[in-house]
């Protein structure tokens, strides 16, 4: 069992219990995902497993700012996969506070708990993937997250299966969610300077606000279903493609495609910016970067 992430005590008291509930779910989801990924490695004849590193968030005044656990595995199927869970709290810098929902220079306090996952695969026929879900509180409280598929070599049936599972998760909660959140993902995971999408999309949502406890329960239930959808859909795709043969040309194309992924994450990704601006663990923030990449 991975070590539990510690978290600070400065979050608004009205959301302390809900932050803990969300944290426990993210840690449970992490454990289930990592167990499934390790099972896939065993099926491929590999004994690779996750290495876990706990970290503490440093604060300027020395107060407890929380922390997290970074899990990384490098195996036969998963060339590099990172699964992070963190729960942090503190104050935004005055300049950054105005960019965050519900925060301001007068009220820079925040808490954030979430899970973030990125998998880069050894076989270029197996898609890379990203998933994260989170709960944040400032003067507001909300959920955000999503999942998106990033294949170097696209198979339409894999794209359709991934989207179908996310569509089912969305439709169980709101008939408008899938179309709204798919478009949001299409718009968000786009690389303007390249004029191309990062992958084949998925869903992306943010600011599902919790004005009261019933709203928290509704949005929490949806966020949990997004995690379940990912755990159901992605391992099935991996198992379907991981035994396929590939050529050196296909591997080279995968490494060049990864360059686009790096460019997006370092230039445009809001999660990367949030982590850097809030004193997060650098290794955990940048675990999304692939182990090998080329630019043509």
pLDDT computed for residue 103 by the predictor: 67
- Cβ atoms of residues 107 and 139 within 8 Å: yes
Closest CA to 211 of 275, 103, 137, 280: 137
| Distance of alpha carbon 141 from alpha carbon 15, whole angstroms | 8
- The answer on pLDDT for 9 being more than 50 is no
Residue 4 has pLDDT above 50, yes or no: no
**Which has the higher per-residue pLDDT, 240 or 103?**
240
| Portion of the chain with pLDDT greater than 90, in percent | 75
Better pLDDT: 296 or 137? 137
Q: How many CB atoms lie within 10 A of CB 58?
A: 12
Please give the Cα distance from 89 to 149 (Å, whole number): 30
Domains observed in the chain: 13-288 (3.40.1500.10)
With DSSP H G I counted as helix, E B as strand and the rest as coil, what are the percentages for the chain, rounded to 5?
45, 25, 30
Give 123's DSSP letter.
S
Contact 201, 146 (CB under 8 A): no
Tokens 């970074």, residue located: 70
Higher pLDDT, 273 or 191: 191
Q: pLDDT of 153-174, one tens digit each? A: 999 999 999 999 999 999 999 9
CB 86 within 8 A of CB 124: no
**Of these residues, 120, 125, 130, 163, which one is catalytic?**
130
Contacts of 124 (CB under 8 A, 6+ apart): 152, 153, 246, 250, 251, 253, 254
Contact by Cβ (8 Å): 280, 271: no
Residues 190-194 have a mean pLDDT of 95
According to DSSP, residue 57 is labeled -
Q: What is the pLDDT of residues 66-77, one digit of tens each?
A: 999 999 999 999
* Per-residue exposure over 84-122, b if at least 16 CB sit within 10 Å of its own CB, e if not: bbbbbbbbbeeebbeebebbeeeebbbbbbbbbbbbbbb
In the chain, the percentage of residues whose pLDDT exceeds 70 is 93
pLDDT at 60: 67
Indicate the average pLDDT of the chain. 90
Q: What is the β-pairing status of strands 51-56 and 66-73?
A: antiparallel
- Active site (annotated) includes residue 163: no
**Size (the chain), residues:** 296
Q: 104-120, pLDDT tens digit by residue?
A: 777 788 999 999 999 99
Give the alpha-carbon dihedral of 88, 93, 96, 98, to 10 degrees: 100
Q: How confident is the model at residue 12 (pLDDT cuts 50, 70, 90)?
A: very low
């Amino acid at each position: 069992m991975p070590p539990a992430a510690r978290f600070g005590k400065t979050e608004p008291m009205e959301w302390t219990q809900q932050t803990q509930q969300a944290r426990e779910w993210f840690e449970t989801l992490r454990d289930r995902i990592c167990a499934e990924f390790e099972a896939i490695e065993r099926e491929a004849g590999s004994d690779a497993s996750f290495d876990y590193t706990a970290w503490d968030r440093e604060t300027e005044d020395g107060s407890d700012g929380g922390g997290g656990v970074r899990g990384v595995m490098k195996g036969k199927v998963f060339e590099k996969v990172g699964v992070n869970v963190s729960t942090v709290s503190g104050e935004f810098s005055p300049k950054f506070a105005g960019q965050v929902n519900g925060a301001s220079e007068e009220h820079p306090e925040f808490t954030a708990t979430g899970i973030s996952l990125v998998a880069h695969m050894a076989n270029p026929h197996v898609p890379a993937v990203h998933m994260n879900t989170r709960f944040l509180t400032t003067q507001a409280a909300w959920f955000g997250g999503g999942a998106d598929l990033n294949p170097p070599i696209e198979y339409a049936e894999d794209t359709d299966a991934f989207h179908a599972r996310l569509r089912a998760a969305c439709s169980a909660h709101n008939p408008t969610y899938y179309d709204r959140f798919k478009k949001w993902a299409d718009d968000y995971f786009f690389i303007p300077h390249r004029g191309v999408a990062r992958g084949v999309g998925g869903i992306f949502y943010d600011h599902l606000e919790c004005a009261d406890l019933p709203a928290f329960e509704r949005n929490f239930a949806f966020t949990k279903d997004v995690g379940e959808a990912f755990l159901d859909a992605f391992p099935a795709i991996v198992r379907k493609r991981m035994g396929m043969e590939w050529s050196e040309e296909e591997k080279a194309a995968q490494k060049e495609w990864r360059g686009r992924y790096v460019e997006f994450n370092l230039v445009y990704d809001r999660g990367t910016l949030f982590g850097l601006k809030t004193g997060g663990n650098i290794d955990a923030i940048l675990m999304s970067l692939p182990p090998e990449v080329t630019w043509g």
